[in-house]
């Protein structure tokens, strides 16, 4: 299979975005620490302790894109202090005022979208159109959060109940204060924005530590907010740069919540660190998402969706398709369709390739190991194989009937590969799909029973007759169960993650003889209550 080789003029340097020249070039290989061999590579937070500068490079070429000072503990605290000061202003604005500022930020990103997408293409490797689609989805979420925050978080009157009828009760949602957001590199705009946009809309300020593999992109996002809103004080949305150690310093800082998106291994470390101060965490972690292709599926549509869901973004999608359970009755047709579609799909570094290089070099070894693991555990490669791995690119690989206990089926691969298992009943497919420590999302292809099958899947989200549909609907919460994480971004649940309810009970008048919460309570009050309680609660047989 031919690759789109990098042509002169294709390199990152040809793009409009040019950050500062690197002081000390470090390659991506040097950055990666493979802490858990079975999961997506985690960055060793101690590895870069002695470094003062982070250099970002184009994953296809190794060309230097930019260089950024690393925020040490002191710099992290300074950023959080600045955000704390700004929180007094931002948190005191009305929902309508915040909405206007957030929508201006979105419009600024639209105005700068050519430059931004060129940077996303250069630093992450994904094709320009994919970069634009990612930006578009992020804009949908900024807009949704900005417009819905008032409805979702406005004060609510609550019925006080018969015994407390002399009270008025209400819930007022307060911003948490400063939210620390730690992001991954695979969807460097869309993914962290599920926390940033919603935290800002709820009235918090944000300190954002982008992934070391998407530092330029993270800074562009934060700078666009400042450019769009020059009249606001500094510190409402700030980016700090660095490796895992900078993220760890943010977790240890005075932020009021950590919203993390990344690998399960790092998520666990963050939760343990946050436990020291009972800091709340939102964890959006890895996945091993399954697609069920039922006997009554539109097989062509299922193959088309699986082809894209498994390989787009080089398979580096938390909710991408990693496993397929296909009914025996449609298996041959499904495999043939999938093979036909994927045989024409090629990775490359050109702006219009179908998908790009692996963004993080150390992930290539994991993908290679999973292909080997499938093949040595009974699988047949129906497309590609070990030879498909030609770093930094990996051709699509389709593996049929691997042992369900192999790493290829149990661990997150995060590459353009997919395993297919033949099943004899829908019940078997559901059971196997649920037999995973992860539970992020899933998809079902069935003309008649899609919803019924979806309801039996132990995951945070399911698309019926589509893949990843839920991720593009801003009102739907996004997040997983088990090793896929804790909490939800997006939608009403996503806004509430960044606010705390403050319950207020106001005594409007005293009821003579009914002073329940006082030593002035009388015997006749208790007599009355003993008659009242059976009426209120004792009538159900």
Query: Which one of 123, 140, 212, 284 is the catalytic residue?
Result: 284
Report the residue number, 184 or 384, with the smaller CB distance to ligand NAD: 184
Report the residue number, 33 or 233, with the smaller CB distance to ligand NAD: 33
Residues lying near ligand NAD in the complex (CB under 6 A)? 40, 42-43, 45, 182-187, 191, 209, 211-212, 243-244, 247-248, 251, 261-263, 266, 269-270, 284-287, 318, 412, 414, 440, 485
Let me know the angle formed at the C-alpha of 158 by 157 and 163, rounded to the nearest 5 degrees: 140
Could you tell me where the beta strands, DSSP code E, fall in 225-373? 237-239, 257-261, 281-284, 289-293, 321-327
Minimum distance of ligand NAD from residue 535's CB (angstroms): 50
Q: What is the DSSP letter of 404?
A: T
Quick one: CA dihedral 373, 374, 379, 384, positive or negative?
negative
Minimum distance of ligand NAD from residue 188's CB (angstroms): 9
**Partner residues linked to 520 by β-bridges:** none
Minimum distance of ligand NAD from residue 360's CB (angstroms): 6
CA-to-CA distance for 489 and 506, rounded, in angstroms? Answer: 33
Helix H or strand E segment including 115:
helix 113-124
Closest residue to ligand NAD using C-beta atoms: 247
Report the residue number, 266 or 446, with the smaller CB distance to ligand NAD: 266
Report the residue number, 211 or 436, with the smaller CB distance to ligand NAD: 211
Can you tell me whether residue 321 is helix, strand or coil?
strand
Q: What is the DSSP letter of 70?
A: P
Report the residue number, 239 or 440, with the smaller CB distance to ligand NAD: 440
Question: Angle of helix 244-252 relative to helix 264-275, nearest 10 degrees?
Answer: 30
Minimum distance of ligand NAD from residue 460's CB (angstroms): 9
Rounded to a whole number of angstroms, the CA Rg of the chain reads 26
Report the residue number, 193 or 423, with the smaller CB distance to ligand NAD: 193
Report the residue number, 251 or 306, with the smaller CB distance to ligand NAD: 251
Cβ(175)–Cβ(98) below 8 Å = no
Minimum distance of ligand NAD from residue 245's CB (angstroms): 7
Query: Quick check: is 284 catalytic?
Result: yes
Contacts of 424 (CB under 8 A, 6+ apart): 327, 328
Quick one: CA dihedral 125, 126, 129, 134, positive or negative?
negative
CA-to-CA distance for 133 and 2, rounded, in angstroms? Answer: 26
How many CB atoms are closer than 10 A to CB 92? 10
Report the residue number, 91 or 287, with the smaller CB distance to ligand NAD: 287
Minimum distance of ligand NAD from residue 105's CB (angstroms): 21
Residue 205: which of 103, 107, 75, 93 has the closest Cα?
93
Minimum distance of ligand NAD from residue 145's CB (angstroms): 16
- Helix runs in 402-482, H state only: 407-410, 426-434, 450-455
Measured CA to CA in angstroms, residue 535 lies from 159, 161, 164, 388 at distances of 19, 14, 16, 73
Minimum distance of ligand NAD from residue 178's CB (angstroms): 16
Cis link prior to 142 (omega < 30° from 0)? no
Can you tell me whether residue 372 is helix, strand or coil?
helix
| Torsion from C-alpha of 122, 264, 441, 139, nearest 10 degrees | -40
Residues with active-site annotation: 284
């Amino acid at each position: 299979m031919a690759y789109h080789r990098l042509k002169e003029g294709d390199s990152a340097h040809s793009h409009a975005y040019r950050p500062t020249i690197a002081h000390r070039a470090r390659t991506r290989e040097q950055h990666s620490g493979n802490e858990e061999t079975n999961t997506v590579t985690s960055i060793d937070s101690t590895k870069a302790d002695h470094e003062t500068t982070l250099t970002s490079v184009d994953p296809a070429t190794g060309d230097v894109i930019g260089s950024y000072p690393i925020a040490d503990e002191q710099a992290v605290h300074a950023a959080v202090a600045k955000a704390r000061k700004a929180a007094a202003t931002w948190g005191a604005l009305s929902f309508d005022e915040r909405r206007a500022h957030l929508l201006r930020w979105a419009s600024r990103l639209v105005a700068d979208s050519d430059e931004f997408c060129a940077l996303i293409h250069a630093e992450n490797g994904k094709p320009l159109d994919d970069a634009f689609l990612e930006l578009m989805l992020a804009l949908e979420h900024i807009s949704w959060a900005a417009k819905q925050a008032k409805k979702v978080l406005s004060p609510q009157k609550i019925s006080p109940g018969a015994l407390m009828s002399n009270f008025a009760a209400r819930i007022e949602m307060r911003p948490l204060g400063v939210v620390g957001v730690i992001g991954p590199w695979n969807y460097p705009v869309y993914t962290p924005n599920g926390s940033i946009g919603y935290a800002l809309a709820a009235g918090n300020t944000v300190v954002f530590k982008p992934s070391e593999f998407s530092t330029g992109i993270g800074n562009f996002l934060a700078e666009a907010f400042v450019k769009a809103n020059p009249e606001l004080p500094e510190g409402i949305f700030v980016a700090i740069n660095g490796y895992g150690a900078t993220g760890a310093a943010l977790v240890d800082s005075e932020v009021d919540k950590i919203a993390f998106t990344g690998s399960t291994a790092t998520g666990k470390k963050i939760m343990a660190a946050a436990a020291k101060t009972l800091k709340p965490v939102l964890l959006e972690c890895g996945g091993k998402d399954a697609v069920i292709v039922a006997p009554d599926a539109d097989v062509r549509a299922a193959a088309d969706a699986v082809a894209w869901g498994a390989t787009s973004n080089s398979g580096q999608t938390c909710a991408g398709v990693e496993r397929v359970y296909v009914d025996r009755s449609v298996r041959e047709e499904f495999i043939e369709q999938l093979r036909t579609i994927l045989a024409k799909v090629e990775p490359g570094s050109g702006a219009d390739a179908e998908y790009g290089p692996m963004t993080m070099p150390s992930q290539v070894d994991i993908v290679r190991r999973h292909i080997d693991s499938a093949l040595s555990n009974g699988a047949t490669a129906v497309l590609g194989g070990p030879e498909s791995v030609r770093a930094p690119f990996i051709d699509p690989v389709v593996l049929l009937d691997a042992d369900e206990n192999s790493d290829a089926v149990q661990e997150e691969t995060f590459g353009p590969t997919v395993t297919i298992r033949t099943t004899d009943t829908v019940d078997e497919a559901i059971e196997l799909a649920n037999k995973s420590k992860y539970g992020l999302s899933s998809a079902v292809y069935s003309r008649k029973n899609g919803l019924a099958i979806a309801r039996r899947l132990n995951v945070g989200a399911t698309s019926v007759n589509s893949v990843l549909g839920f991720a593009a609907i801003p009102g739907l919460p996004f997040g997983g169960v088990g090793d896929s994480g804790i909490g939800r971004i997006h939608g009403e649940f996503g806004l509430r993650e960044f606010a705390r309810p403050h319950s207020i009970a106001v005594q409007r008048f005293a009821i003579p003889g009914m002073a329940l919460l006082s030593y002035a309570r009388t015997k006749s009050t208790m007599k009355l209550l003993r008659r009242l309680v059976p009426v209120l609660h004792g009538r159900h047989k």
